[in-house]
Structure 1
């Protein structure tokens, strides 16, 4: 299923999607559809990131919802026409549901989501530098999720590091690369720190409990539908 077909499916089940999501989740979905609809078709990486954002917003759906069941079947890679079709699909969907622009208060919802993520345990830049140097790294890897906190400076969610003083966890870096954390740190953090019906909890809390390949597969499925 390509992104355009997936967005058609979303449109078919829009009423039940609205019923299944709370106001914050619904407004976030509208915002991410808006981002996809406004993305330049020739910027393939941005289109991929925007498609991922829409899929992230749909993860809270019940596990047996038709759209939830289809999340892993969405395949971005392949034909050169896919980016254009994905953007066109988002524009068509927003017109079909008669909400061409995100609902009022979207900025407040986005800020609330970011505040929730910033409230999670995190490390500041000096601590991260020290941990990386202890692990034999000259500087923090670019795959590390770094959240911009206007009040406290850069914040690195602490689940990315081993133990009380360890360096970056290799599987986290691997997953972060798949999630495009260098260009979409908020989306990557949202994946790790939000409930995932298929994994059975927050991925960050399942580190060391689930096989690494299961985490990698779930992230890959979100981005490319390859699980």
Structure 2
């Protein structure tokens, strides 16, 4: 079977994979997935993907052996399985978050595509990239990305951002907070991030407060 489809199925079955692989096998799987990511030629990528599949079959034969694959093979579409992709398994294991699958995967890609600063840049400019009130997203390889909209000049954060991020509990749910800031809001007529520094900025905290009260 297409190795990328098997890795996609492993992402969809992440709870079973996480519980079923011992430490050494998880480390081997992580190494192979990292190689899949950074390979510059298709042959090298395919070889690493096949090695990752071997780890899954070795550690979870009931799920990814011949009989296990037969149970879910009908739901495979090319490189995908039920909307999951091989990259989703890398995100789960290497990046350490769950923004994967047919619903959350596109959100992850959209948010990571937004302009951002890395932690080193913020530190060099005298800021604190680890401040509780700032949104930090994990990109490929677990690299921290701080959405650029949070900063007015250099690495000076908007006060409104700090207040709203506290209300949105950005330290607990950074992806949800980033999505709120960067998505069009029907009440505001724009994405909240677009209103920073403008006359409607004062409405942002009230709107975020109403959102959290409704949960």
TM-score (norm: length of structure 2): 0.50
> Whole-Å Cα distance in 1 between the matches of residues 149 and 178 of structure 2?
10
State yes or no: 1:143 paired with 2:133.
yes
Q: Tell me whether 212-221 or 179-188 shows the greater mean CA deviation.
A: 212-221
What per-residue deviation string (whole Å, max 9, x for no partner) do you get for residues 35-90 of structure 1? xxxxxxxxxxxxxxxxxxxxxxxxxxxxxxxxxxxxxxxxxxxxxxxxxxxxxxxx
- List gaps (5 residues or longer) in structure 2: 1-81, 85-100
1:156-211 per-position Cα deviation (integer Å, ceiling 9, x unaligned):
00000013x24111110110000010010000000000000101100001111234
1:174 aligns with 2:167: no
1:190 match: secondary structure: helix
- Give the drift of 1:143: 1.1
Q: From the superposition, tell whether residues 140 and 169 of structure 1 become closer, same or farther in structure 2 (CA, over 3 Å).
A: farther
Equivalent residue number for residue 223 of structure 1: 212
Aligned residue in 1 for 2:83? 105
Query: What residue in structure 2 maps to residue 161 of structure 1?
Result: 151
| Equivalent in the alignment of 2:113 | 119
Runs of 4+ in 1 over 3 A off after TM superposition: none
- Could you list the per-position Cα deviations for residues 77-135 of structure 1 after superposition, in whole angstroms to 9, with x for gaps in the alignment? xxxxxxxxxxxxxxxxxxxxxxxxxxx5371321111010000000001111233x26x
**Partners of 1:146 and 1:155 within 8 A in 2:** yes
Runs of 5+ unmatched residues, structure 1: 1-103
| C-alpha RMSD of matched pairs (Å) | 2.1
Structure 1 segment 29-178 matched on structure 2, within 5 A: 104-105=82-83, 107-131=101-125, 133=126, 140-151=130-141, 153-163=143-153, 165-178=154-167
Larger Rg belongs to: 2
Q: Note the C-alpha offset of 1:213.
A: 2.6
**Structure-1-length-normalised TM-score:** 0.48
- Cα contact 2:122–2:155 (8 A) shared by 1: no
Contact kept? 1:129, 1:140, Cα under 8 Å: no
> Higher relative contact order at CA 8 Å, sep ≥6: structure 1 or structure 2?
1
Residues matched between the structures, number: 118
